Amino acid sequence: EREAVYIAIGIKPNGHKEVIDYCIAPSENIEVWTEMLQNMKSRGLKQVELFLSDGVVGMKTALARPYPKAHFQRCLVHVMRNICAKVRVDDREKIMNEFKQVHPQT
């Protein structure tokens, strides 16, 4: 059976990564993310500087409720997939190379 796995990973100022929360649900939807964000807030996660996510509809709104100062950024892998889906196959390599010049991985 296919299920969605939600994982929230935090990165501390020293670069240490830590799983903050996770959930397995029948499918991906904003209600599960909203519940996870509220749960993290109630467990003591006071501040979020940057939240990276795929393009699930409603994520910015769900994030703004518990963490109004958090910045939202769409995951670059998902951005690249969407770009590839919109361009001709013959042009994909060139366009992706140009995209990577604009958004270098650091």
Instruction: Spell out the domain ranges in the chain.
Output: 1-73, 75-106
**Structure confidence at residue 52 (pLDDT):** 86
pLDDT at 24: 95
Q: What is the pLDDT of residue 89?
A: 93
Confidence (pLDDT) at 70: 94
Q: Quote the pLDDT of residue 84.
A: 86
- pLDDT of 3 reads 92
How high is the pLDDT of residue 105? Answer: 62
Kindly give, in sequence order, each residue whose CB lies less than 8 Å from that of residue 30, ignoring residues fewer than 6 positions away.
56, 57, 58, 59, 62
Alpha helices (H) in the chain, listed in sequence order: 30-42, 59-64, 76-86, 92-102
Mean pLDDT by 10 residues, the chain (106 residues): 91 92 92 94 93 85 93 82 88 88 70
What distance in Å separates the CA atoms of residue 20 and residue 43, rounded to the nearest whole number?
A: 10
Write down the pLDDT at residue 12: 87
